[in-house]
Structure 1
Amino acid sequence: MLYSQTPAHEKRRLFRERLASGELLRFPGAFNPLSARLIERKGFEGVYISGAVLSADLGLPDIGLTTLTEVAGRGQQIARMTELPAIIDADTGFGEPMNVARTIQTLEDAGLAGAHIEDQVNPKRCGHLDGKAVVDESTALKRIRAAVDARRDHNFLVMARTDIRAVEGLDAAIDRAKALVDAGADAIFPEAMRTLEEFAAVREAVDVPILANMTEFGKSDLFSASQLRDVGVNIVIWPVSLLRIAMGAAGRALDTLTDEGHLTSKLGEMQHRAELYDLIDYEGYNHFDSGVFDFQLDR
Structure 2
Amino acid sequence: MKLVTYKAHVEAPARLGVIEDGIVVDVAGFGEAVGLDLPDRMLDFIDLGPVAVRQLRNALHTADGDWGNALALPVETVKLLAPIPRPRKNIFGIGLNYLDHITESAKALDTDDALPKEPVVFSKPPTAVVGPGDPVRHDASMTQQLDWEVELAVIIGTTASQTKRENALAHVFGYSVMIDISARDNRRAGQWIFSKGMDSYAPFGPCIVTADEIPDPQQLDLWLTVNGVEKQRSNTAKMLFKVDELISDVSRGITLEPGDIIASGTPEGVGAGRDPQEWLWPGDVMEAHVEGIGTIRHPVINATEFK
The alignment's TM-score, normalised by the length of structure 1, stands at 0.26
* Bigger proportion of residues as helix: 1
Q: Greater Rg, structure 1 or structure 2?
A: 1
> Which structure: greater strand fraction?
2
